[in-house]
Amino acid sequence: MSVEESIGPAQFETALGIAPGKLPAHTVEMLRQANLRYARTTPAEQAELEAEAMERVKQGFTVVGEQRAGIWRDAWQDQLDRFEAAGFAVESLNPAFVDGSVVLRWQGGYIRSLSDKFELRVIEILRDAVFRLFLADVDSLYEFGSGSAFNVAAYAKIFPDVPVCALDWAPAAVRIAELLREKLGMKVRGERFDFFNPTKDMKLGPGAGVFTFCALEQVGPRFGPFLDFLLEQRPRRVVHIEPTVELYDPSSSHDRVAIEYHTQRKYLVGLLPALRKLAAEGRIKLLHSKRLNCGSRFHECYSVHVWEPA
Ligand SMILES: C[S@@+](CC[C@H](N)C(=O)[O-])C[C@H]1O[C@@H](n2cnc3c(N)ncnc32)[C@H](O)[C@@H]1O
């Protein structure tokens, strides 16, 4: 029989890599309300889930990259339609892909979630903590690869006076951000942006905050143009929450599933080593870098990297 456990402030602080007591009060309250309960799997269940997941990965998933532009265009058009049909209710922006399985990854093993919308709640809590800890002192916020714009809406709710820009290569993603301003009065705008080809005529400003959330994952090894763009722009602070293959442990069978999945989909590779190299050269300050050890059945989107131009 597996024992019921829950994620409270202490567990979340350890996962995020911050000192005890440092989780913002609002985030603590969100955690309390979410009541994140789960059951650990037994060693036999863990082995079975790993084998099943590995088998599924071997069957193949679609590979990310330029050829997926049409898929994202259609996905966000559907989301835009749902947003309009829902009378511009912000909750309708929660992407469908976070509503998935109850089997999740947590601290080196599989768990079965016992609370509603467990992964969505984790995302909301993580995002709240990261915004308050690392992006509270910027004078504008830019989210690149903003998708449904649910992150920018959440930021605008916390910091309503800070102008926010949502950037994505999918036109409907840009339109949703515009509607947040037009219909809901948020200080949000949308702009087209392609990680593979950053625009030259954009100025973020020295007080700007930059955010990417499971978005650079889509570029595989081709994060260079975007990193160069950021180094040139010199915003105040950059926060990435991205799957980080370099932080998995190849000696763990649990992590080998995630490594296989990540590699098979051709997700982001090399960003963390590049940031570490820039930090060693004194070009940036790498302020925080932590894998949460938390994710969905196949991999973990949630490693947080925070840096500033030196
Ligand atoms: C997994 S979604 C994440 C969206 C959002 N950040 C979130 O947290 O839900 C990846 C996003 O990256 C965008 N994207 C993928 N490749 C891109 C590229 N080359 N340039 C700009 N956006 C891109 C997609 O359109 C999509 O919105």
The per-residue pLDDT for range 160-172, each reduced to its tens digit, is 999 999 999 999 9
Question: pLDDT-derived band of residue 176, with 50, 70 and 90 as boundaries?
Answer: very high
Cβ–ligand 1 distance for 88 under 6 Å, the answer no
Q: What is the pLDDT of residue 98?
A: 53
Instruction: Report whether 303 contacts 292 (CB < 8 A).
Output: yes
**From the CA of 217, how far away is ligand 1's center (Å)?**
8
Q: Which of 142, 210, 218 to mutate to test the pocket of ligand 1 (most atoms within 8 A of CB)?
A: 218
What is this structure's pTM?
0.96
Q: What is the pLDDT of residue 101?
A: 52
**From the CA of 206, how far away is ligand 1's center (Å)?**
24
Q: CA gyration radius for the chain?
A: 19
Q: What gap in Å lies between CA 131 and CA 137, rounded to an integer?
A: 10
Compute the average pLDDT of residues 277-292. 98
Q: Domain boundaries in the chain?
A: 64-99+130-309
Burial class of residue 180 in the structure, from the number of CB atoms within 10 Å of its CB (0-12 exposed, 13-18 middle, 19+ buried)? buried
By alpha-carbon position, which residue is closest to atom 16 of ligand 1? Answer: 218
By alpha-carbon position, which residue is closest to atom 20 of ligand 1? Answer: 194
Q: What gap in Å lies between CA 139 and CA 145, rounded to an integer?
A: 20
Contacts of 141 (CB under 8 A, 6+ apart): 135, 152, 155, 159, 162, 163, 164, 165, 208, 209, 210, 211
Q: pLDDT tens digits, residue range 95-125?
A: 765 545 589 999 999 999 998 889 999 999 9
Q: Which CATH number fits domain 64-99+130-309: 3.40.50.2020, 3.30.450.20, 3.40.50.10680, 3.40.50.150?
A: 3.40.50.150
For the stretch 116-122, contacts whose Cβ atoms lie closer than 8 Å and that sit 24 or more positions apart, written own/partner, are: 118/36, 118/38, 119/296, 120/94, 121/30, 121/34, 121/36, 122/7, 122/36, 122/294, 122/302
Q: Which of 168, 226, 302 to mutate to test the pocket of ligand 1 (most atoms within 8 A of CB)?
A: 168
Q: What is the pLDDT of residue 1?
A: 53
pLDDT exceeds cutoff 70 at 179: yes
Instruction: Report whether 134 contacts 286 (CB < 8 A).
Output: no
Report DSSP letters for 246-262, one per residue. Answer: GGS-TT-HHHHHHHHHH
Q: What is the pLDDT of residue 67?
A: 83
Cβ–ligand 1 distance for 95 under 6 Å, the answer yes
Closest ligand 1 atom to Cα of 196: 19
Q: pLDDT tens digits, residue range 52-81?
A: 999 999 998 888 888 888 888 998 999 999
Alpha-carbon distances, residue 234 vs 33, 238, 308 (angstroms): 38, 9, 8
**From the CA of 193, how far away is ligand 1's center (Å)?**
10
Q: What is the pLDDT of residue 61?
A: 86
**From the CA of 168, how far away is ligand 1's center (Å)?**
6
Q: What is the pLDDT of residue 71?
A: 87
Structure tokens given for 175: 């339109």
Question: pLDDT-derived band of residue 2, with 50, 70 and 90 as boundaries?
Answer: low
Q: What is the pLDDT of residue 171?
A: 96
**From the CA of 25, how far away is ligand 1's center (Å)?**
30
Structure tokens given for 241: 């929450």
Cβ–ligand 1 distance for 151 under 6 Å, the answer yes
Cβ–ligand 1 distance for 193 under 6 Å, the answer yes
Instruction: Report whether 211 contacts 239 (CB < 8 A).
Output: yes
Cβ–ligand 1 distance for 194 under 6 Å, the answer yes
What number of other Cβ atoms are within 10 A of residue 38's Cβ?
20
